Chain A
């Protein structure tokens, strides 16, 4: 089945080599970081997690977002998702692999990573994160591949796959819940210490994941013969739209709790992210994330409006723009603000800002390219099988 990825037109190969090139640059940057230490990044004693862990957090959401395609199809027998469920599963595979790569890139002693397995520590949320992420990867590889392979052979998939598919549904929720628990169980980090963190993670994931999928689907509609179909497209609009609205509702709850309670710890990071935060002693204002976070809110809200409008006028172009807006909005919100904001101010109420270095950005781009590479291969295989089947049918 994998041989289908070896046949493609010029654009396909150009795209793959572009990704390989970026992966190569990322690899070289990683060698630099590996030889120097994590000091090659912009992280510091005060901001100890940077863009790697924030990408990881966001991508766990993208992986979990696949649930929004699997659940309607397998649990509610929503037949119109028949053509795209596999895309959700394969997107989860690529996203989880990126997550694992980002964690490896972030470790100070990557060669010791297996200590997490050798010395299992059930009181650490990272231990559970290791289990749920790897478990989710295997579930999606097995289910996705088994179902597609059956389709390739022109038969129905075996019965043993079914329980694994059902298991993958709560498992998707678990990956993002545990990832939220990494943050929201830490005393002294007020911004993360909120019970709505896991629900908000899930809401933004269920919008961002399907949004990315829809963007890819629309691109494929232009470049291949593969069309997810109007009905499925419209259903996805509903899912993305409501999930995005729930996310903003929960963000609003955070803002209310922070500012109405007037408790400084609850306001500091929100101040820092949306308005800028002044140092106690010097009065200097720190606000390097403010333009991004404000843009995130505007793009998100505009995206939601455009999303529903595009369905009304049945415009693919507007739908694509809406999805890009929502995806970017949530990428900024979770892939930048959430993790970086949590470190400002520090537990000692100092303010240190973080700027990623070129090496760090190179590694980040390399990992995204790796994800894109894996995703392209998987999607190439999937749609080749689907199109072939439809031809013979």
Chain B
């Protein structure tokens, strides 16, 4: 008698915990995921079994990088990188270990490891390809962040709150594009009289040590009606085209409609907002 009662209570208790806990947790997870899908907030009905794919409403900023134009113009990529890094007070520690970078060059095999094959043409092997945060529509970093220090704006831009970040670096493990950097040491410091930030730009905050940072698509400039610094640095070359992917009349949409482009690691389902013409 007693032992059956105990058995019953055991089972009842366990099922109650599972029953109450699991669906609630799952619900939260689902809702959050949809929220994380963000600019894609339109995807909400889809997640609940409704529509098909993305609805073309709401802004979703994106970029096309025409690598051919970059390769025709040596030095242009470096100019874009410099424009970004110097404005955003990205420190230079002079070593790989502490390195911080928002926009940088990679070889094809590193930028597109899943598109690598034996018999590549010479250009692919020798040229460099600009990489940056992909501002994914479904960003794994936002999913991983335990404090919402990294989050997705309504316009699709994945942002960082330097003041909330606890420096756990979970987002860095989660990012499949290596787009994130950590302040391993004080970026405002110096070594042998040489400051890590050559000239501090007072228009953009410097960071403290112990937080993660990355490209923000110059969201603060977009608010002023300007283009991102790297796009501006490319001038009228069309090497970088920026705009609203959901606006069919934007330049970036027109390029995407007429040219063959690729994304980095599309099979991971992150839906990158940066496209490449190779």
Q: Which of A336-370 contact B (CB under 8 A)?
A: 342-343, 346-350, 352
Stretch from B82-90, B140-148, B198-206, B241-249 that touches the partner = B140-148
Interface membership of chain A positions 100-131, coded 1 if the CB is closer than 8 angstroms to chain B and 0 otherwise:
00010011111011011011011111111010
Number of B residues, CB within 8 Å of A? 60
Q: Which of B244-278 contact A (CB under 8 A)?
A: 265, 268-270
Stretch from B27-35, B44-52, B67-75 that touches the partner = B27-35
Beyond A108-B183, A121-B146, A122-B25, is A189–B173 a contact (Cβ under 8 Å)? yes
Q: Which residues of B contact A118 (CB under 8 A)?
A: 147
Stretch from B10-18, B54-62, B216-224 that touches the partner = B10-18
Closest Cβ of chain A: how far from B124's Cβ, in Å?
13
Q: How large is the interface on A (under 10, 10 to 19, 20 to 34, 35 or more residues)?
A: 35 or more
A108→B110 contact, CB < 8 A: no
A170→B99 contact, CB < 8 A: no
Residue of A nearest to B141 (CB): A186
Q: Which residues of B contact A36 (CB under 8 A)?
A: 185
B107 contacts chain A at the CB level, 8 A cutoff: yes
Q: Which residues of B contact A8 (CB under 8 A)?
A: none
B79 contacts chain A at the CB level, 8 A cutoff: no
B76 contacts chain A at the CB level, 8 A cutoff: no
Q: Which residues of A contact B210 (CB under 8 A)?
A: 37-38, 107-109
Most buried by A among B36, B113, B181: B113
Q: Which residues of B contact A166 (CB under 8 A)?
A: 10, 13-14
Task: Tell me the bound Cα distance from A110 to B265 in angstroms.
Answer: 34
B107→A39 contact, CB < 8 A: no
Q: Which of A295-350 contact B (CB under 8 A)?
A: 342-343, 346-350
Interface membership of chain A positions 40-66, coded 1 if the CB is closer than 8 angstroms to chain B and 0 otherwise:
000111101100000000000000000
A280 contacts chain B at the CB level, 8 A cutoff: yes
Q: Which of B156-170 contact A (CB under 8 A)?
A: 164-170
A187 contacts chain B at the CB level, 8 A cutoff: yes
Residue of A nearest to B145 (CB): A124
B98 contacts chain A at the CB level, 8 A cutoff: yes
A122→B29 contact, CB < 8 A: yes
Select which of A116, A127, A188 is within 8 A of B140 by beta carbon.
A188
Select which of A182, A187, A346 is within 8 A of B269 by beta carbon.
A187
A106→B168 contact, CB < 8 A: yes
Beyond A37-B185, A124-B170, A348-B111, is A119–B106 a contact (Cβ under 8 Å)? no
Task: Tell me the bound Cα distance from A361 to B8 in angstroms.
Answer: 50
Task: Tell me the bound Cα distance from A128 to B178 in angstroms.
Answer: 25
B175→A108 contact, CB < 8 A: no
Interface membership of chain B positions 202-232, coded 1 if the CB is closer than 8 angstroms to chain A and 0 otherwise:
0000001111100000000000000000000
Q: Tally the A-B contacts, defined by beta carbons under 8 Å.
A: 168
Select which of B25, B96, B106, B166 is within 8 A of A115 by beta carbon.
B166
Residue of A nearest to B187 (CB): A37
Residue of B nearest to A116 (CB): B146
Q: Which residues of B contact A170 (CB under 8 A)?
A: 14, 17
A167 contacts chain B at the CB level, 8 A cutoff: yes
Task: Tell me the bound Cα distance from A136 to B143 in angstroms.
Answer: 24
A281 contacts chain B at the CB level, 8 A cutoff: yes
A107→B167 contact, CB < 8 A: yes
Q: Which residues of A contact B145 (CB under 8 A)?
A: 121, 124
A350→B97 contact, CB < 8 A: no
Most buried by B among A48, A106, A183, A350: A48
Q: Which residues of B contact A187 (CB under 8 A)?
A: 140, 174, 176, 268-270
Closest Cβ of chain B: how far from A51's Cβ, in Å?
14
A123→B13 contact, CB < 8 A: no
A188→B181 contact, CB < 8 A: no
A188→B175 contact, CB < 8 A: yes
Closest Cβ of chain B: how far from A276's Cβ, in Å?
19
Interface membership of chain A positions 229-260, coded 1 if the CB is closer than 8 angstroms to chain B and 0 otherwise:
00000000000000000000000000000000
Beyond A115-B149, A119-B147, A123-B143, is A49–B164 a contact (Cβ under 8 Å)? no
Beyond A108-B169, A170-B17, A349-B110, is A44–B147 a contact (Cβ under 8 Å)? no
A109→B166 contact, CB < 8 A: yes
A163 contacts chain B at the CB level, 8 A cutoff: yes
Ranked nearest first, the 7 interchain pairs of A and B with the lowest CB-CB distance are: A108-B167, A188-B176, A108-B210, A39-B184, A123-B32, A39-B185, A126-B146
Q: Which residues of A contact B (CB under 8 A)?
A: 36-39, 43-46, 48-49, 75, 103, 106-110, 112-113, 115-116, 118-119, 121-128, 130, 163, 166-167, 170, 182-183, 186-189, 280-281, 342-343, 346-350, 352
Known: A44-B99, A109-B166, A122-B28. 14 other contacts (CB 8 A): A37-B185, A38-B167, A39-B97, A39-B209, A44-B96, A44-B184, A45-B97, A108-B182, A110-B166, A112-B165, A118-B147, A124-B170, A166-B13, A188-B140
In the complex, 24 of the A-B residue pairs with CB atoms within 8 angstroms, ordered by the A residue number, are A38-B185, A38-B210, A44-B98, A45-B99, A45-B178, A49-B169, A75-B10, A108-B167, A108-B169, A108-B211, A112-B164, A115-B164, A115-B166, A116-B147, A121-B32, A121-B148, A124-B145, A188-B140, A188-B176, A188-B177, A346-B178, A348-B106, A348-B111, A348-B131
